[in-house]
Structure 1
Amino acid sequence: MNGRWVGGNLVTLLINGEAFFPRVFECIAAAEREVLLETFILFEDKVGRALQVALLTAARRGVQVDITIDGYGSPDLSPAFILALTQAGVRVHVFDPSPRLWGYRTNLFRRMHRKIVVIDGTRAFVGGINYSADHLADFGPTAKQDYSVEIEGPLVTQIQDYAMTQLLIAQRQPPSLRHRLFGRAPEVPQGNTLPAAGTAEALLVTRDNREHGSDIERHYRIAIRGARQRIIIANAYFFPGYRLLRQLRRAARRGVDVSLILQGEPDMPIVKIAAGLLYHHLLEAGVKIYEYQERPLHGKVALTDDEWSTVGSSNLDPLSLSLNLEANVIIKDRAFNRGLAEHLELLIQKSCKQILLRDVAETGIWVSLRSFFVFHLLRRYPAWFGWLPAHTPRLTPAEKLMTEAGSDHVNEGQVS
């Protein structure tokens, strides 16, 4: 399900955990009926424990709470942490749990990478921020730079319907059993029934391994192709397919100011190495590349011209474009675009190092080999990456995993 454009939304940018966590916890504390939450990573640190307290408090006063956490992304939740939630009535769903083999995680592909929260069907959050202390500045030099948005208005109904439908699909239950799964039907009916809260047009775009395998990438390419003045993309893991690279090069050559903000202090060295393979190809076409220096960049945001923006969970790399389950919000709103642009331009001015063509200028066989690699291999990606092992994703109740594991960790530490 990828929704349609709807107007009347208020979309607020939340920068880093300092803005995101207090706002989410405040909204959970005010919830009256329902909390739906999906996340890739939930760690049992000060942020995870604060989320647990918020969810427990909500569940104990009668709020219906469903959380979905990925079977790969969160390796060390204790049985006590999960048990406290389930005993309070929180329904904890584990996406694609798999046992370890010789100590290694086997569920490498098809991760549930979305980060979504819906409160009472009237307020939603979508972005890239996980529930872990490394999204706070006091974590130290490796704290992540990241983004989410808070949404009010008609789009929230689409996000709520999407999150509930994914629970039903992954548990292999037909939608007709929705009321039995959730105990009672949501009080906000399907359709654009929420009143206008702002002026933004917005769209929920998702990536799955069924009908919507390339929707997020396609929206990026449409926006890049239509840009006339500027493009700014800040993306943590940048290794897109050839079609997206080609659109960036074409935009720069027709005079669009194209700026990429990429990792300069990566959380994984391979990230910078992979992106570096593309630098010469992009710089020679006039694309500007800036490496963020202050700490690891974890954001997935972009804008074009003075209206189009996107914030979400999707990187521009093989995992996000071809394997992971992702969710982005696309926004058409001048005020939001302006605020995001001012923030990203400040990052460029104060926290980034610009990479120039002379910095990557090389001659000889290396340039020829790299050009061959970029053109002949990437021109078929992401399509060929989708050939990697696929299966029907499933959700497993955390209580079942605890019973089956009977050890110090739920499913060998694979509750997420």
Structure 2
Amino acid sequence: MSSRNNNNHWTGGNRIELLENGEQFFPRVFDAIRKARREVIVETFILFEDKVGLQLHAAMREAAQRGVKIDLMIDGFGSPDLSREFIEGLTSAGVKVRVFDPGQRFMGQRLNVFRRMHRKIVVVDGERAFVGGINYSADHLLDFGPKAKQDYAVELAGPIVGEIHQFVLRAIALGGKGAGWFRRRLKLAPPENQVRAGEADAMFVTRDNRRHTNDIERQYRAAIRAARKRIVIANAYFFPGYLLIKELRRAARRGVDVRLVLQGEPDMPIVKTAASMLYHHLLHAGVRIYEYCDRPLHGKVALMDDRWSTVGSSNLDPLSLSLNLEANVIVRDAAFNQVLWERMDRLMQHSCKQVEAADLASEWSGWRLVRSFFVFHILRWYPALLGRLPRHAPRLTPAEATDLASRRDSGRSDSAGGATRTEAA
């Protein structure tokens, strides 16, 4: 798959802070919304009507009532169960709630499972932004219990925020009112903040199904090829394409310390099964594999050497690399890289089990050979095969025109909706 009109470039002068889990992320976002002066744009895959979703609801509603322009985009598959009261509480205050491809139910099931809007982005006043993997649901808080997710996001200030702001405005325009509306909106938008806020270089990289089909994966592969000292990738859903696996193996063989932090307590068993099919192939090349065992890992972060890092929404699996709409921030900064390395090192030291070749020795060698043959060909061909699935034009539909508010009418409970929806869907 090629990437046409690639506009990825480094932007200097940014301040970037790593936020770990909902305990750090949610207060920052809600506070930024409460302090907004002009505009808030929120994109998220999952929004549940639980204690976190209700706090976001209250913050957006209060900001809208004092005149702040609020745009909320949710995914029709990831956030299907919001009540009529929840939606109307926002729209009655002036919040624009849009649904990405809401779809219809068949026999109680939603069929629009592919090409989802999987991004998690917040932009406030064109001056402050948040990008990462954290959804608006209580399972991103430690008090949720053993199934609470381990995850990351970044808060950004500086010129890169202007680029993210333009992107989310364009996403609203192209999914709904068109390019003419986008140009008019830009004329009304306040000047972007171009004042330096820090020393970090940043790049905002997205994946779509038209012009940027493999931008995020290409950035990963380029950084792996350039690595000379260390590579650490922590990714919840790990089943990348053949080219990325080949680059990891090459890096390990040339002496780079290559480490993968993967799920040891997955939210879905198939996630660990898929990743473990690659273990022999990677361990044999010298890649070190750690399984995070405290609770489900949901993060999508990586670092290479002493300066390159990335945090975002993109998993390294077929859905994220070949189908979903994703967004990552790539950072070139030694201080940020060091912070991320310390967090990853702490995870590996205290919350992970390192997978050794001896742990896999009990597998029958003949079965391992057959399985490796099929895995090799799946990895080699799945990006092209998935790319052939229909590329429907994304639709943003006003929430009141969808069936999102049908949950309470059909008697489905909040807890049931929150407990069954998973990120890989």
Please tell me whether the aligned partners of residues 76 and 409 of structure 1 are also in contact (alpha carbons under 8 angstroms): no
- Equivalents in 2 of 1:404, 1:301: separation in Å? 34
* AA at the equivalent of 1:258: V
**Which segment drifts farther, 353-362 or 38-47?**
353-362
Name the counterpart of 2:165. Answer: 160
Please tell me whether the aligned partners of residues 79 and 402 of structure 1 are also in contact (alpha carbons under 8 angstroms): no
Please tell me whether the aligned partners of residues 41 and 71 of structure 2 are also in contact (alpha carbons under 8 angstroms): yes
- Equivalents in 1 of 2:176, 2:34: separation in Å? 28
Name the counterpart of 2:37. Answer: 32
- Equivalents in 2 of 1:379, 1:86: separation in Å? 46
Name the counterpart of 2:3. Answer: none
1:209 Cα deviation after fit:
0.3
Could you list the per-position Cα deviations for residues 196-230 of structure 1 after superposition, in whole angstroms to 9, with x for gaps in the alignment? 00000000000000010100000000000110000
- Equivalents in 1 of 2:116, 2:407: separation in Å? 25
Please tell me whether the aligned partners of residues 82 and 404 of structure 2 are also in contact (alpha carbons under 8 angstroms): no
SS of match in other structure, 1:381: helix
Identify the match of residue 181 of structure 2 among 177, 181, 199: 177
1:3 Cα deviation after fit:
4.1
**Is it true that 1:186 corresponds to 2:185 in the alignment?**
no
Number of equivalences: 409
**Is it true that 1:297 corresponds to 2:297 in the alignment?**
yes
* AA at the equivalent of 2:388: W
Name the counterpart of 1:394. Answer: 395
Could you list the per-position Cα deviations for residues 82-128 of structure 1 after superposition, in whole angstroms to 9, with x for gaps in the alignment? 00100000000000011100011111101000000000000000000
* AA at the equivalent of 1:305: D
Please tell me whether the aligned partners of residues 144 and 298 of structure 1 are also in contact (alpha carbons under 8 angstroms): yes
In the superposition, relative to structure 1, how do residues 407 and 42 fare at CA in structure 2: closer, same or farther (>3 Å)?
closer
**Is it true that 1:52 corresponds to 2:53 in the alignment?**
no
- Equivalents in 2 of 1:352, 1:394: separation in Å? 41
1:405 Cα deviation after fit:
6.7
Alignment of structure 1 residues 99-118 onto 2, 5 Å: 99-118=104-123
* AA at the equivalent of 1:259: R
Name the counterpart of 2:353. Answer: 353
Name the counterpart of 2:374. Answer: 373
TM-score (norm 1): 0.95
- Equivalents in 2 of 1:336, 1:220: separation in Å? 17
Name the counterpart of 2:236. Answer: 236
Alignment of structure 1 residues 59-138 onto 2, 5 Å: 59-138=64-143
Name the counterpart of 1:42. Answer: 47
Could you list the per-position Cα deviations for residues 151-193 of structure 1 after superposition, in whole angstroms to 9, with x for gaps in the alignment? 000000000000000111111512x3236569x711124xxx5
Q: Extract unaligned runs of 5+ from structure 2.
A: 1-5
- Equivalents in 2 of 1:211, 1:179: separation in Å? 20
SS of match in other structure, 2:106: coil
- Equivalents in 2 of 1:250, 1:380: separation in Å? 20
Could you list the per-position Cα deviations for residues 120-141 of structure 1 after superposition, in whole angstroms to 9, with x for gaps in the alignment? 0000000000000000000000
- Equivalents in 2 of 1:32, 1:96: separation in Å? 30
Alignment of structure 1 residues 205-284 onto 2, 5 Å: 205-284=205-284
Could you list the per-position Cα deviations for residues 45-83 of structure 1 after superposition, in whole angstroms to 9, with x for gaps in the alignment? 000000000000000000000010000001310000000
Alignment of structure 1 residues 302-317 onto 2, 5 Å: 302-317=302-317
1:363 Cα deviation after fit:
4.4
Name the counterpart of 1:144. Answer: 149
Please tell me whether the aligned partners of residues 2 and 204 of structure 1 are also in contact (alpha carbons under 8 angstroms): no
SS of match in other structure, 1:384: helix
Please tell me whether the aligned partners of residues 81 and 405 of structure 2 are also in contact (alpha carbons under 8 angstroms): no
* AA at the equivalent of 1:119: V
- Equivalents in 1 of 2:322, 2:212: separation in Å? 10
Please tell me whether the aligned partners of residues 2 and 206 of structure 1 are also in contact (alpha carbons under 8 angstroms): no
- Equivalents in 2 of 1:35, 1:351: separation in Å? 37
1:387 Cα deviation after fit:
1.6
Could you list the per-position Cα deviations for residues 22-47 of structure 1 after superposition, in whole angstroms to 9, with x for gaps in the alignment? 00000001000000000000000000
TM-score (norm 2): 0.93
SS of match in other structure, 1:197: coil
- Equivalents in 2 of 1:408, 1:205: separation in Å? 40
Please tell me whether the aligned partners of residues 249 and 287 of structure 2 are also in contact (alpha carbons under 8 angstroms): yes
* AA at the equivalent of 1:45: D
- Equivalents in 1 of 2:248, 2:404: separation in Å? 51
Could you list the per-position Cα deviations for residues 312-359 of structure 1 after superposition, in whole angstroms to 9, with x for gaps in the alignment? 000000000000000000000000000000010000000000000111
State percent identity of aligned pairs. 62
RMSD (Å) for aligned C-alpha atoms: 2.1
- Equivalents in 1 of 2:182, 2:215: separation in Å? 26
* AA at the equivalent of 2:321: L
In the superposition, relative to structure 1, how do residues 403 and 49 fare at CA in structure 2: closer, same or farther (>3 Å)?
closer
- Equivalents in 2 of 1:118, 1:236: separation in Å? 25
